[in-house]
Every structure is written in structure tokens, then in C-alpha cells.
């Protein structure tokens, strides 16, 4: 059965647009449900246990301690103010990790502290990356 080429093109266009819309809806839906909220220590200090979040903040200088197979350290808000939050993390840490660095860590609030999920610790690189105030 011959199909009018004009109509065929229209159908193709509709199909293509439909796929695009589907992809967009899926993107929007999954991204809002899969994302974890970024929070600073001051927002998590009084959070209910079991709250999961993406912790962002600065590692307190001299607070890093080894703890069995993992490490324990404290994190403060990026502006350096407020109380610090104790954090534990299992496993190896990335190279740039140390006191005074900004980190991003996914995990949950347990008790009075924050427990990071393995493999989720991200440390911001310095240097290429250096600020003048950092020196």
C-alpha cells in the first residue's frame, strides 16, 4: 500500500518527538528520585538518624584518625563556621584527601555522626587549582 510521502514524514517526526519527550520525562523523573541532597555539617548535626545526604564541607585540620580499616575525621561548613560533624569512612581515601580540603561524601546520619558509603568520597583538588589564600 503506497503511503503518501508527506504523511510518512509527519509520522516519522511525531515518532522522533515522542521518543525525545519520553527521554526527557524519564530524565526528569529519575534525576529527582535518584539524587541525594547536598548538605553541610550544620544542617546534619541535628538530623534524624537514617537521613541520607551528600555531605559537603571542609575537613578539620588535624582531625583525621585511623579507625581499623577506615578513618574518622570531622567536617565543618565550607565557610569554616559552626560546629563540626564527626564522620567515619571505610576503605581507602583519594590522594588529595587531607585536613583543610573540601570534600563531598554520600552517606547517612547514624547516632551523632555521619557514616560515608565506600567509594563515594570525593576530594577537591588543590593547585591547578591553588588559590592565593590557600598558600
Partner 1 sequence: MSSLGSALLGLAFLAAVAAGAIALAGRNGDERRLRLSRRVAYAFCGLLTACVVIIELAFARNDFSFNIVAQHSSIETPAGYKLAAMWSSQEGSLLLWAWVLSIASSAALYATRNKLRELVPWATGVLMGVAAFFTGLMLFAPDVDPFAKLDPAPADGIGLNPLLQHPSMMIHPPMLYSGYVAFTVPFAFAIGALVTRRIDAEWIRATRRFALIAWTFLGFGLLLGARWSYTELGWGGYWAWDPVENAALMPWLLGTAFLHSIMVQEKRGMLKVWNASLIVGTFSMALLGTFLVRSGVLQSIHAFGDNTVGPYILGLIAVVLVGSTALIVSRLGELRSDKRIDSLASRESIFLVNNLLLVGMTAVIFWGTFFPLISELFTGHKASLAAPWFDRYTTPLAIGLVLFTGVGPLLAWRRVSWESARRVFRVPLAVAAVVALALAFFTDAAENPWALALFAFAAFALTGLAQEFWSGAQARRQLSGEPGARALVGLVSRNRRRYGGYIVHVGVIVLLIGIAASSSFQTNRDVELRPGESTTVDGRTITYVKPTVAVDEEKFTFGSLLRVEEGGALVGFLRPSRRFFRPTGQEAGLISTYFAGEATSEVGLRAGLGHDLWIAEQPNVQDVQRGVRLADQKFKACVRGAPGTPEQCKALKALMHAAAANPSLRAQALGPISQAQALAAKRVANTFLTTNASSTFKVIVNPLVTWMWIGGLIALAGALIGLWPSRGRRRGALVRTEADARKEAKYREIRDAELDHATGKLSDEDFALVDAELRREAIEILGRESGAGSENGNGNGNGAHPREPEKLEQG
Kindly list the residues in this chain that would bind partner 1 in the complex (CB under 8 A): 5, 9, 16, 20, 23-24, 27, 30-32, 34-39, 54, 56, 66, 69, 90-96, 98, 102, 104, 106, 118-120, 122-135
For the chain, the C-alpha Rg in angstroms (whole number) is 23
Contact 105, 135 (CB under 8 A): no
Smallest separation, CB 10 to partner 1 (Å): 13
Minimum CB distance to partner 1, residue 42 (Å): 14
**Segment holding 102, helix H or strand E:** strand 102-110
Minimum gap (Å) between residue 12 Cβ and partner 1? 8
- How many residues comprise the chain? 135
Amino acid at each position: 500500500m503506497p503511503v503518501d510521502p508527506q504523511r510518512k514524514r509527519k509520522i516519522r517526526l511525531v515518532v522522533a518527538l515522542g521518543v525525545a519527550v519520553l527521554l526527557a520525562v524519564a530524565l526528569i523523573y529519575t534525576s529527582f528520585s535518584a539524587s541525594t541532597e547536598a548538605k553541610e555539617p550544620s544542617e546534619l548535626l541535628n538530623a534524624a538518624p537514617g537521613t541520607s545526604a551528600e555531605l559537603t564541607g571542609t575537613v578539620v585540620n588535624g582531625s583525621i584518625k585511623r579507625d581499623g580499616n577506615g578513618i574518622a575525621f570531622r567536617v565543618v561548613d565550607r565557610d569554616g563556621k559552626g560546629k563540626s560533624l564527626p564522620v567515619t569512612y571505610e576503605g581507602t581515601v583519594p590522594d588529595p584527601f587531607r585536613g583543610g580540603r573540601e570534600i563531598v561524601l554520600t552517606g547517612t546520619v547514624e547516632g551523632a555522626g555521619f557514616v560515608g558509603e565506600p567509594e563515594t568520597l570525593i576530594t577537591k583538588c588543590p593547585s591547578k587549582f591553588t588559590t592565593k589564600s590557600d598558600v
